[in-house]
Amino acid sequence: MTKPKPCPRAPGPLEEYAARFDDLFTHVAQRRGFREYLAGLLAPRDRNKTLTALAGAEPVTGAGHPAVQRLQFFLSESRWDPERVNARRLELLLADPATAPHDGGVLVIDDSGDRKDGTKTAHVGHQWLGRYGKTHSGVVTVTTLWADERLYYPVHAVPYTPARHFGKGKNDPAFRTKLQVAADLAIKARGAGFVFRAVCADSAYGDQDGFRGELAEAGLPLVMALKPRRGTWAYGPDAHTPVDAARALAWNGPAGPGDWHPVTRTFRDGHTERWFAADATLGWWGPDGARRLVVATADPATLPPKATWYLVTNLPRPGGPREAASPHPAASLAEIVRIYGIRHWIEQSYKQVKDQLGWADFQVRSGTAIRRHQTLVNCAFSFCWDTWFHDHPTPHQPVTPRPAAGRGEGGPARRRTAARTLLATGITRDTRLASPLDHAAALVAGMVEGAPAPTAASPDQLGRGRLRPAPLQPELTNYR
């Protein structure tokens, strides 16, 4: 096998990370484009991360600059497979003890919409965009994310294609709903080697009987939210909605909780809240049914809308008749609450990929180019974790020196500079490049050190005999 030709090195630790993907690119220009694109994504955000911004050129007037054209060709025309690049990214995460998934984490399913106008861009349609809380022209991407109490990263992402893009609309054999895409991604994550305690999703997915059934048929455990007033058939005097089922539970105050059991939620800043959880009965769902309805709330007397969860799960109750025959370990009420509490990390992930890494800033039309951009954003996100855990090793993970760089086309490698010293030197006022490579480590310092959260308290043992990395400092994230 011919050894790949060397290309200009990326700054600092980005070079070592990018080199792990070199065998997936057949030309020096592709390897160079991969490095330059990631470096541009990692640069501090002064404006939308369009191709001119990634290359450090002026907007509009700098569109014809050779560096911008190189990135345009790399994204839209060059021949490389984003699926293989994403698979390599996941392999690296699986192989690293600091980021390897374990059976105490969860797989979160969600979708995210971004505004995009026009009719020629792939995947664009007039559809609900949750980020904006309204229906608008845009692109919706279905995503999966692996997370535990201290770590989270994207797994797969597939843009949803509205029916208008198909000749026969929704009757076209190639058309797939967001629910079908999401189910495929959950199964695909398991096939890629990801283990998790349960698949989590909000009520947009949890309310769909067919979706839950497809996951259950595939042998996947699930904990998903329901809308409070989701109607269910029941006999006249019985509960017809989750909130009705919750109100039917006995509650005589904290001194006499009745059917409710206290659980403790621990937030990333260390403070705790006392909640209450209970198994409720709704139609055919019950504590020992094929589906359990678990209600968790800060106040069983009033069931405050913003502090009450209605959850459906196929995890059996400890000590119940289904535990012995279930393919999934039993889960107590506290464990169900812990599992669903992790789901909210996907909102933190969106804040970083959208607000820092330019997830929605692409200006390309083809579906292939959009998928490539999303794959590169996820690579930049994973690189930040790679850098964080190298510079902040866990007690069970000794520092491993980075391999010494050899002499490339430009001579000996530069000595690595501390992340906090790599700052911008100024703003370009013409079409000359501002070299985004100088900014990469600055974002690592600001974003990577702002991501992790500490381990939340839980009465259930999560480690299951394996060493777990120590929790990270709570002041490093602003999300809880």
Residue with tokens 């480590």: 441
| pLDDT, tens digit only, all 480 positions of the chain | 566 667 888 888 899 999 999 999 999 999 999 999 999 999 887 888 889 988 888 888 888 999 999 999 999 999 999 999 999 999 999 999 999 999 999 999 999 888 888 778 899 988 888 777 888 899 999 999 999 988 899 999 999 999 989 999 999 999 999 999 999 999 999 999 999 999 999 999 999 999 999 999 999 999 999 999 876 765 666 777 899 999 999 999 988 999 999 999 987 777 889 999 999 998 888 899 899 999 999 999 999 999 999 999 999 999 999 999 999 999 999 999 999 999 988 887 888 888 889 998 888 889 999 999 999 999 999 998 888 887 766 654 544 444 433 333 333 333 333 333 222 233 333 333 434 444 444 554 454 444 433 333 333 333 433 333 333 333 333 333
Closest C-alpha to 278, from 233, 337, 232 = 337
Closest C-alpha to 153, from 222, 216, 75, 92 = 92
222-225/125-129 β-pairing: unpaired
Distances 430 to 58, 366, 433 between C-alpha atoms, Å: 6, 30, 8
Distances 29 to 6, 39, 378 between C-alpha atoms, Å: 10, 15, 21
Encoding tokens for residue 53? 């911004």
Distances 270 to 296, 332, 353, 470 between C-alpha atoms, Å: 20, 23, 26, 15
Decide: 67 and 3 in contact? Cβ < 8 Å.
Answer: no
Cβ neighbours of 47 (radius 10 Å): 10
Q: How far apart are CA 337 and CA 116, in angstroms?
A: 37
Residue with tokens 């996820």: 378
